[in-house]
Structure 1
Amino acid sequence: MKRVMCIPNYSEGRDLEKVEKITECFRAKENVKLIDYQPDADHNRLVVEVIGEPEAVIDAVLESVKVASEIIDMSKHEGAHPRMGAVDVIPFVPVTEVTTEDCVGYANKVGKAIGEMGIPVYLYEDAATTLKERTLLRLERDNTKHSSTKLRKKNGNLTLVHKK
């Protein structure tokens, strides 16, 4: 049975009501197991770890992106960690009967769907397309440096999707 791990990061770690709304997207999904989630108030960041059947994980991730983009206001966000959007990164990791290439495909599928929501997306690392040479650190640095430019669109929500 195919299994993939996904570790999305959200720019919310202080408002536990918002944390619960985001994590509920994973709890309520069949064939997805919420392994762990850790809100961090200092960094104002939520790291979620899920494992499951790839399509079910993708569906849950997309639902969580929709929820996060509606409830997280990046114009008021403060925290110690660099961030690029309401959903910061969405790494996919192969677990069982899944390859790196499969994870790149999942990242591309998720990136396309998020883009269709009107949220800017950068694919990086193995999933990078036109930004193949750009690393996460470089994207974060560029976004921080140019935060008032077109990198921040749709209420500041920018999502990075990749295969770890």
Structure 2
Amino acid sequence: MASSRLCLRLAVCLLNVSEARQRDIVERIAKAALWDKAGQKQTQTTVLNIFSDYDYNRSVLTLAAPVETLGNSVVTACTEAYDLIDMEHHDGIHPCLGSVDLVPIYPLSESVSLEECGRVARDIAEKLSQDVPDCSIFYFGYADQPLKRNLVQRRKEVNWYKRTSLNVNEIKPDVGAVISLRYGLTGIGASPYVMNCNVTIDTQDLTLGQQIANAVRGANVGGLCGVQAMAFPHEGTVEIACNVESFTDETSSSLAAERKECISYFIQGKEYLYFSPRSIERQIKKLATSHEVATIGTALVGFTPQLCKSLAEQAILKGCGEFWKTRQTITM
């Protein structure tokens, strides 16, 4: 068992699709990842988690596999999603531009490099352009060569944060000549692991939520390094949705002060850190309390990188492709 574990060089895709209200469609996409185009079972692929949000009308599927074969699973899942989701009929409060909205590839095993994940991402885009000729793609991170522009920058360039409908004449994709209104625009790339952590505050005051999101955002003074945050109305409250990026001592201006609130892991011998979900929850609770508002729950969209790696090893070694059926939404 131990020698088998050592042979697994794992990577993961947190596949974001623009559908959450029809569970059967989301599960068909998940199951598609477990088979290749020839109908053969992908025995070393596992779908660890499905996180769906009705208001957002968005689902995040956690697909893990050896880095050498992950791309094949992602392609079959994306192809199924393109076939089942029509962006012309999409309705949800979360920003999105594509039926397959985001395809990020992250290394899980320390021996898997970011450059290798970037090549996997570009290979996924090339195969999708062949299998779904009308799809359109932009690159980010280590797939965006040679610039390596990050996801936030690329999303700003295509107006992802503000657009509710897609003007196909305004955007030139990296792959695909004309953007299809049915498929929309997909972001494909690679980076160190990005965790998603959502904290709910007990108010309907979206302006307050936006102030709190702005305060924790890493790009702002006093914010948390690596944290991207937005506020959304959600089930009669406000949710602070945080993307939690990994960072290094090269990108943090106050690493000594931040390290005690962070968790570390390694990619090819280099240390990466991220703010723990607990520390993010504490910071948002502190800010909300100063306005006499309580926090009422925190949810992880998937897993921390360490837990993701551990569960992927367990699931693959046991041959459990539909691992998500054994899991429930992780709350804190």
| TM-score normalised by structure 2 residue count | 0.46
Question: What is the one-letter code of the residue matched to 1:124?
Answer: F
Q: Which residue of 2 aligns with 1:144?
A: 163
Question: What is the one-letter code of the residue matched to 1:144?
Answer: R
Query: Does structure 2 retain, via aligned residues, the 8 Å contact 1:12–1:19?
Result: yes
Asked if 1:160 corresponds to 2:192, the answer is no
Task: Please list the CA deviations of residues 15-52 of structure 1 after superposition, one character each: whole Å capped at 9, or x if unmatched.
Answer: 01101111112345310121111111110011011211
Q: Distance in 2 between matches of 1:42 and 1:123?
A: 27
Per chain length, whose mean CA-contact separation is higher, i.e. which structure has more relative contact order (CA < 8 Å, sep 6+)?
A: 1
- Aligned residue pair count: 164
1:78 is matched with which residue: 79, 91, 105? 91
Asked if 1:33 corresponds to 2:46, the answer is yes
The 3-state SS of whatever aligns with 2:73 is: helix
Q: Distance in 2 between matches of 1:59 and 1:83?
A: 24
Task: Please list the CA deviations of residues 86-140 of structure 1 after superposition, one character each: whole Å capped at 9, or x if unmatched.
Answer: 1111111111221001011111101111222221111112221487546243145
The 3-state SS of whatever aligns with 1:141 is: coil
Shift of residue 154 of structure 1? 5.5
Q: Distance in 2 between matches of 1:87 and 1:20?
A: 14
Q: Distance in 2 between matches of 1:48 and 1:42?
A: 17
C-alpha change, 1:133 and 1:147, in structure 2 (3 Å) is same
Q: Distance in 2 between matches of 1:76 and 1:127?
A: 30
Shift of residue 146 of structure 1? 7.3
Q: Distance in 2 between matches of 1:80 and 1:11?
A: 11
Asked if 1:42 corresponds to 2:55, the answer is yes
2:31 is matched with which residue: 20, 24, 34? 24
1:102-117 to structure 2, matched below 5 A, reads 102-116=116-130, 117=132
Q: Distance in 1 between matches of 2:53 and 2:84?
A: 17
Asked if 1:87 corresponds to 2:100, the answer is yes
2:12 is matched with which residue: 5, 20, 24? 5
Stretches of structure 2 that go unaligned for 5 or more consecutive residues are: 1-6, 36-41, 172-178, 192-332
Q: Distance in 2 between matches of 1:27 and 1:13?
A: 20
Shift of residue 160 of structure 1? 0.9
Cα RMSD of the aligned pairs, angstroms, is 2.2
Displaced runs of 4+ in structure 1, greater than 6 A? none
Query: Does structure 2 retain, via aligned residues, the 8 Å contact 1:82–1:140?
Result: no
Q: Distance in 2 between matches of 1:88 and 1:74?
A: 10
Per mean C-alpha deviation after superposition, the further-off stretch among 112-121 and 84-93 is 112-121
Query: Does structure 2 retain, via aligned residues, the 8 Å contact 1:10–1:46?
Result: yes
Query: Does structure 2 retain, via aligned residues, the 8 Å contact 1:7–1:50?
Result: yes
C-alpha change, 1:145 and 1:34, in structure 2 (3 Å) is closer
Q: State the identity as a percent.
A: 23
Per mean C-alpha deviation after superposition, the further-off stretch among 8-17 and 54-63 is 54-63
Query: Does structure 1 retain, via aligned residues, the 8 Å contact 2:87–2:181?
Result: no
Question: What is the one-letter code of the residue matched to 1:56?
Answer: T
Q: Distance in 1 between matches of 2:145 and 2:10?
A: 25
